[in-house]
Amino acid sequence: MSSNVKTILKNDVNYSVISKPATEWIWNAIHQNKWEEQTFKIFDRFLNPENSYIDLGAWIGPTVLYGAHKAKHVYGVEPDPVAFNELIINIQLNPFIAKKVTCINAALAEESGTISLYMRSEFGDSTSSLLPTIAENSCKVKAITIHDLINENRIENINFIKMDIEGGEYFLIPTVHDFLQSQKPTLYLSIHPGFLKEHVMLMSSNQGETSDHFNIQTEKLLDCLQFYKYIYDVFGNPVKKDAILDVTYTGEFLFTNECW
Q: With the CA atoms of 116, 117, 120 and 121 taken in that order, what torsion angle do they form, in degrees rounded to the nearest 10?
A: -110
Residues 173, 188, 218: CA angle, nearest 5 degrees: 40
- Tell me: the pLDDT tens digits for 123-152? 999 999 999 998 889 999 999 999 999 999
Look at residue 205 in the predicted model and tell me its pLDDT.
65
201: pLDDT confidence band, cut at 50, 70 and 90? confident
Look at residue 202 in the predicted model and tell me its pLDDT.
87
Q: For residue 211, is pLDDT > 80? A: no
Q: How far apart are CA 116 and CA 79, in angstroms?
A: 10
Q: For residue 1, is pLDDT > 70? A: no
Q: For residue 4, is pLDDT > 50? A: yes
Query: How far is residue 203 from each of residues 1, 136, 141, 165, 210, measured CA to CA in Å?
Result: 43, 10, 21, 19, 9
Look at residue 188 in the predicted model and tell me its pLDDT.
98
212: pLDDT confidence band, cut at 50, 70 and 90? low
Q: How many CB atoms lie within 10 A of CB 47?
A: 23
Look at residue 207 in the predicted model and tell me its pLDDT.
59
Look at residue 111 in the predicted model and tell me its pLDDT.
97
The mean per-residue pLDDT over the stretch 108-117 comes to: 97
The mean per-residue pLDDT over the stretch 54-83 comes to: 98
Q: How far apart are CA 194 and CA 224, in angstroms?
A: 20
Task: Report the predicted TM-score, pTM, of the whole model to 2 decimal places.
Answer: 0.95
Look at residue 215 in the predicted model and tell me its pLDDT.
74
The CATH classification of domain 36-256, taken from the options 3.50.50.60, 1.10.1060.10, 3.40.50.150, 3.20.20.140: 3.40.50.150
Is-contact 32 10, C-beta < 8 A?
no
Q: Tell me the pLDDT of the chain averaged across its residues.
A: 94
- Where are the domains positioned within the chain? 36-256
